[in-house]
Amino acid sequence: MRISDKHSKITQAAVKVFARKGFFNARISDIAKEAKVADGTIYLYFNNKYDILISLFEDEIGKIILQVKLLLEEESDPGKKLYIFALHHLKLLDKKKDLAEVLQMELRQSNKFMKEYRNTKFIEYIDIISAIIHQGQEENIFDPTVAPGIAKRAIFGALDEMSRLWVLDENPPYTIEETAQQLSNLFLKGLTL
């Protein structure tokens, strides 16, 4: 087994366990068992428990960024880009519920922690939104008085809050498509000149 295989085997196990029990209640031995390795083996690939969390966060967000940027390249209209972004975000986290739970946790887990560790991957992700807004403003489609730095957070916050529905509720009252449609309409009307 290649080294990277074991690394990702542990990461995937950690996603499941963190989602099931939360970061603090997850035991290293739980992750080890889930990954079918010995407890000690984990420390050959990660420095400590926190390191697993950060590492998985960066890896997974990194993958998501690549995917969505690729998707957005196909489209030029900023309004449609916004819809694509929203739909992709919701779809992805619906498909990967475990990951969704962990990302939501990680983002808030400990603000102390977030302060120190400059979360560049996360910033890169939400900056995709502000780039779209900026583009729309350049092209005189979007209202130039809207602050992209506020709107990007508003949009991300809205998506994130909605995706909690799918994480927490067995039978969410809305479909993914309906939600993406509603949200992007709402923000599009809000952004348009």
Partner DNA sequence: TCAAAAAATGAATCCCTATTCATAATGATG
Partner DNA sequence: CATCATTATGAATAGGGATTCATTTTTTGA
Q: In the complex, which residues of this chain contact its own copies (CB under 8 A)?
A: 19-22, 24-25, 101, 104-105, 107-115, 146-147, 149-151, 153-162, 164-165, 167-168, 173-174, 178-179, 182-183, 185-192
The CA distance from 43 to 50, in Å, is: 12
Phi-psi region of 147 (alpha: psi -120 to 50; beta: other; left: phi over 0): beta
Which residues are registered as beta bridge partners of 142? Answer: 192
Instruction: Give the total of residues touching DNA (CB under 7 A).
Output: 17
Residue 51's H or E segment, with its range, is helix 49-73
Q: Which of residues 47-106 bind DNA (CB under 7 A)?
A: 48-49
Of 20, 22, 25, 117, the residue at the interface with DNA (CB under 7 A) is 25
Residue 38's binding partner, choosing from DNA, its own copies, none, with beta-carbon cut-off 5 to 8 A by kind?
Answer: DNA
Of 41, 109, 181, 185, the residue at the interface with DNA (CB under 7 A) is 41
Smallest distance from DNA to CB 30, Å: 7
Say which amino acid occupies 95.
K
Q: Which stretch binds DNA (CB under 7 A): 19-27, 92-100, 115-123, 174-182?
A: 19-27
Give exposure, 138-175, as e/b (b: 16+ Cβ within 10 Å).
eeeebeeebebeebbeebbebbbebbeebbeeeebeee
Smallest distance from DNA to CB 37, Å: 4
